[in-house]
Structure 1
Amino acid sequence: MLGRRRNNMLPKRLEGVLLLLFMLMVSNASGAFVGVHVGTGVSDLPSPSDIVSILKAKRIQHVRLVDSDHKMLVALANTGIEVMVGVPNDQLLRVGQSRSTAADWINKNVAAYIPATNITYIAVGDEVLTTIPNAALVLVPALQFLQSALLAANLNTQVKISSPHSMDMISKAFPPSTATFNSTWSSIMSQYLQFLNNTGSSFMLNAQPYYGYVKGQGVFPLEYALFRSLNPNSKIADPNSNLFYTNMFDAMVDAAYNSMQAMNFTGIPVMVTASGWPWRGARNEPAADVDNALAYNTNLIRHVLNSSGTPSQPKNQVSTYLFELFSEDRRTGPVSEQNWGIMFTNASAVYSLAFEDVAANNTDSPALRGMFCVANSSASHSALKQSLDWACGPGSANCSAIQPGQPCYKSDDIVAVASYAFNDYYHRTQTSGGTCNFNGTATISSTDPSHGSCIFLGSTGANGSGNGAASGPVSQDSFASGLQSCWLAHLVVLLPVVLLL
């Protein structure tokens, strides 16, 4: 009798423990993510294993491949990294015209690598309707054929299918409340949205505020494109919804939501499949520089991981793939087109960027580690003096270290003294709009100017790794995450005891 009672109770106890474990793990895994796009137009693209090593080092857990390179899929096996594979535009016609070809594509490029490789999404083509309009008629059939193949392989719950669109698909993106898709593609967009609605997939959007800013020719301030604080007199409002927009990224996402709503589709989430900023451009591309790229991508990561949604969709989080890991020097077009990468192919960083939650209130942002704002040695003494006075005065930089008798004081070297002040100001204010310019007397450098006991904010050296910066307060999310980890650890310890009761 006792034995029967124990056997009857065991499943219930185990069920309760496992249910609690599951709830904690699901809660811990929720929230928007930031991934990275890996292109192939790179002359000296690193090996797949080297690319995966970079992803691991940067703690990147989501990656978008433009194709389904088999060597990359093998290298990504057993890493836990979520992978989006792509059907390139040059394969779209074949897949969209033949159900058997679509099935073969799924078998060779998806089914053959699951579950070792964590493939979760397929991007079918890229900006098809605006770049190869002659293939428009096969876009939806391609989605449907691939979905049927996933269903046949019993992979339809793990792998979702969609197709990335550019902002050019939206006739007039601002104000967002009146945005609509280009009427030329109304029939195809209706079928596409119905497919997403039926399959629980996301609307994929390539949202690039850099292009919005450049094409706007001064209509929108640069700060608006870079997520930087706007002057109270420059608030950008949607006159129809009375919603205020603090950044162009949110306005683009809301334009997509409202365009779908105009076609009577709601509840389809937006996933941004490409967003970034070029770090170098030609002389006629002044907005493409390291300072702006660092600001945009740092603020983008913070914004997405903050899970705050958009003004019209505050509860809808927008997972985003950063464009891109390596600069694609084989891309055509202006200089800026070949310089969007955050990493060089030798695994060194173009600029320091953290893919973790950088919203903590630290004086020295982790995203700026290894980057320094230094005085331009070619600037005149008087210009440097004027900028130095501003940094230590109205700029509120901490200039105590460059006072006489202090470690960074140099009476005969205004470049060194100004560099310390400029760098302190930049590291303290970059996230709220501070720039490394100072009327042309400063520039971004990856060379650490620290020397002796004079440690610059951003230094990663042994003496400057902490920079004396106090840790920010623990957020509720961080506390909850720690509490979940604690409970999980205790449950793992207690599970054998529960099973023996």
Structure 2
Amino acid sequence: MDRLTISSLLLILLLPFLSLSEGGSIGVNYGRIANNLPSASKVIKLLKSSGIDRVKVYDSDPAVLRALSNSGIKVTIDLPNEQLRSAATRNSYAAVWVLRNVVAYYPHTLIEAIAVGNEVFVDPHNTTTYLVPAMRNIHNALVKYGLASKIKVSSPIALSALGNSYPCSAGSFRSELVEPVFKPMMEFLRETGSSLMVNAYPIFAYQANSDVISFDYALFRENPGVVDSGTGFRYFNLFDAQIDAVFAAMSALKYDDIPIIVTETGWPSKGDSMELGASVENAAAYNGNLVRRILTGGGTPLRPKAELTVFLFALFNENKKPGPTSERNYGLFYPTQKKVYSIPLTLKEVKSWKDVKGNGPAVVTPVVSPATGGSRTAGKVTVKETWCVANGEMGEAKLQAALDFACGEGQADCHPIQEGSTCYDPNTLEAHASYAFNSFYQKNNRKMGSCDFEGAAFVVSQPPRFGKCDFPTGY
């Protein structure tokens, strides 16, 4: 395709953006795993001064909910994973939880949704079976108190819930989750008029395939686009491809009437040496271009009329988060409330904003498999080798619990770390956990979320070295 044809095509595709019509909505995740954050009342002032009118929290802390009272800011609260079993098995527990955490504050605090759990399918405590029953019991409690029409119930899923994602039009959910979880969940969402919550991070796919994915495709910068072989649609950014893979998976189950809310997405401003792409410049480009793309509307190729609500991750850098350096550097602001970088957060700001390279709306090159990190070039699928290792900073108790899960319900191959076997030495918890975590990760095709274990593990791009033990990349 010649330069003129590409330019003409891009101009046609950008016309909706240039009109700056009303589009979707931008919110932010207010995480608090830190010991140096400003008070909740100061945070609410920061949100209002920044033009942010939606916020998502990971609990239902009274200080935060009180500070949000009469602020006009809509809030999504969370029922943590560790409470799923109680909420699922005891109607009284769900009713009391809603009474204490919703009824006590609404309507002065504009609670608009309840996230029941977070990325439950990758929770090492195996809480998946409790998810939909807990959602129903929380909804029934809202019905009891007359709030079911005002407050929606859903649960954020990671993209690792997809079994197939390339081409995105062939997206499908993992087969073992369809009957026991996704079909009843979709029925519930349809019955209650709720949306599916999705956490999407293009940076993870980039890091796993940096040899074939350019920054431009991940950062919404100008590029020739990628054609989906199933639909013929041309994609100009990885974010849209990831979201359409989820839309396609829903359509495959005949639930194309259910909307999506992106409950987490973001890009770190700092990372370890192996965390490719983690920089202030790239974080500003991704988040800034994403905000512009959402606020100016247009939907996705599969759902052109879908005006997405997207929550950026996260409001602050959180200094107590475990894991690699990036985990502590996703914030838009430092705890001092100083901006880490400047991006637009309102439609008015979008009109004049350009990223550090002067780019307006658009995005980049190779075709990518959103969920698995695989990429397609010239008809071949290539996947860069990565491994999963234990995070020794999490402490022995958490590592041991995660190791027990991996070798038990996770069905990792733990025979090599048994006494007398090839990977028993060095006989340390971190070495044994790393081997088990990597086995689980590789058996799950290195899908996003399969190397997490609630912060007890992280992905590396160099082969781990524990004694003479080799860490496989396939089973």
For the 8 Å contact 1:306–1:359, the answer to whether it is kept is: no
For the 8 Å contact 1:295–1:430, the answer to whether it is kept is: no
Q: Give the match for residue 209 of structure 2.
A: 216
Which deviates further from its counterpart, 263-272 or 352-361? Answer: 352-361
Q: Give the match for residue 253 of structure 1.
A: 243
CA RMSD of aligned residues (A): 1.9
For the 8 Å contact 1:62–1:82, the answer to whether it is kept is: yes
Q: Give the match for residue 325 of structure 2.
A: 335
Deviation per CA, 1:342-394, whole angstroms, max 9, x where unpaired? 101111110112210167553xx2x76xxxxxxxxxxxxxxxxxxxxxxxxxx
Deviation per CA, 1:270-292, whole angstroms, max 9, x where unpaired? 10000110000112223000000
Q: Give the match for residue 193 of structure 2.
A: 200
- Name the structure with the higher helix share: 1
For the 8 Å contact 2:206–2:218, the answer to whether it is kept is: yes
Deviation per CA, 1:119-139, whole angstroms, max 9, x where unpaired? 000001000012246111110
Q: Give the match for residue 117 of structure 2.
A: 125
Partner AA of 1:279 in structure 2: S
Deviation per CA, 1:216-252, whole angstroms, max 9, x where unpaired? 343322111111111x3xx211111111110011111
Task: Report which structure shows greater RCO (CA 8 Å, sep ≥6).
Answer: 2
Structure 2: which 5+ residue stretches go unaligned? Answer: 1-20, 365-475
Structure 1: which 5+ residue stretches go unaligned? Answer: 1-28, 369-425, 435-501
- Give, in angstroms, the shift of residue 194 of structure 1: 0.7
SS of 2:163's equivalent in the other structure is coil
- Give, in angstroms, the shift of residue 431 of structure 1: 5.8
- Number of equivalent positions: 343
For the 8 Å contact 1:224–1:248, the answer to whether it is kept is: yes
Alignment of 1:40-439 (within 5 A): 40-132=32-124, 134-187=126-179, 188-230=181-223, 232=224, 235-357=225-347, 362=352, 365=353, 426=356, 428-429=358-359
Partner AA of 1:322 in structure 2: L
For the 8 Å contact 2:237–2:363, the answer to whether it is kept is: no
Q: Give the match for residue 453 of structure 2.
A: none
Distance change (3 Å), C-alpha of 1:433 and 1:319 = closer
Distance between the aligned counterparts of 2:222 and 2:348, measured in 1? 17
Distance between the aligned counterparts of 1:342 and 1:359, measured in 2? 16
For the 8 Å contact 2:119–2:158, the answer to whether it is kept is: yes
Partner AA of 2:185 in structure 1: Y
Q: Give the match for residue 479 of structure 1.
A: none
Distance between the aligned counterparts of 1:433 and 1:194, measured in 2? 35
For the 8 Å contact 1:302–1:359, the answer to whether it is kept is: no
For the 8 Å contact 1:161–1:201, the answer to whether it is kept is: yes
For the 8 Å contact 2:23–2:298, the answer to whether it is kept is: no
Distance between the aligned counterparts of 1:289 and 1:430, measured in 2? 20
Partner AA of 2:323 in structure 1: G
For the 8 Å contact 1:32–1:319, the answer to whether it is kept is: yes
Distance between the aligned counterparts of 1:263 and 1:429, measured in 2? 38
Larger Cα-atom Rg: 1
- Give, in angstroms, the shift of residue 263 of structure 1: 1.3
Distance change (3 Å), C-alpha of 1:339 and 1:45 = same
TM-score, with length taken from structure 1: 0.66
- Give, in angstroms, the shift of residue 433 of structure 1: 7.7
Distance between the aligned counterparts of 1:359 and 1:248, measured in 2? 24
Of 22, 35, 38, 2:30 maps to 38
Distance between the aligned counterparts of 1:204 and 1:286, measured in 2? 27
Distance between the aligned counterparts of 1:211 and 1:221, measured in 2? 13
Distance change (3 Å), C-alpha of 1:94 and 1:241 = same
Partner AA of 2:278 in structure 1: A
Distance between the aligned counterparts of 1:309 and 1:184, measured in 2? 30
SS of 1:272's equivalent in the other structure is strand
Distance between the aligned counterparts of 1:428 and 1:278, measured in 2? 20
Identity across the alignment (%): 37
For the 8 Å contact 1:327–1:339, the answer to whether it is kept is: yes
